[in-house]
Amino acid sequence: MTKEELQMKMDQLVQGQVDNITIEKNDFMTFREIWINHKKKEQIIGEALHNGNIIYRYRSI
């Protein structure tokens, strides 16, 4: 996935358009860069799955 596609997925998650997003192992480093720089990163929670995939959910405060 491109950086722009991953950014769009994160925006959809934070805006509540989707309940969760799944990031595959090969996209993790690109997604991590986006996540680290996001102002709401503390509310974007990742859960490790099998085979290196991660599911992220947004928890509003």
State yes or no: pLDDT of 61 exceeds 80: no
Alpha helices, DSSP H, located in the chain? 3-14, 28-36
Q: What is the pTM of this model?
A: 0.90
State yes or no: pLDDT of 2 exceeds 80: yes
Predicted confidence (pLDDT) per residue in 14-38, tens digit: 999 999 999 999 999 999 999 999 9
Q: Where are the domains of the chain?
A: 3-58
User: Considering the chain, what is the average pLDDT of its residues?
Assistant: 96
pLDDT of residue 60: 83
Buried b (16+ CB within 10 A) or exposed e, 18-52: eeebebeeebbebbeebbeeeeeeeebebeeeeee
d(CA 44, CA 18): 13
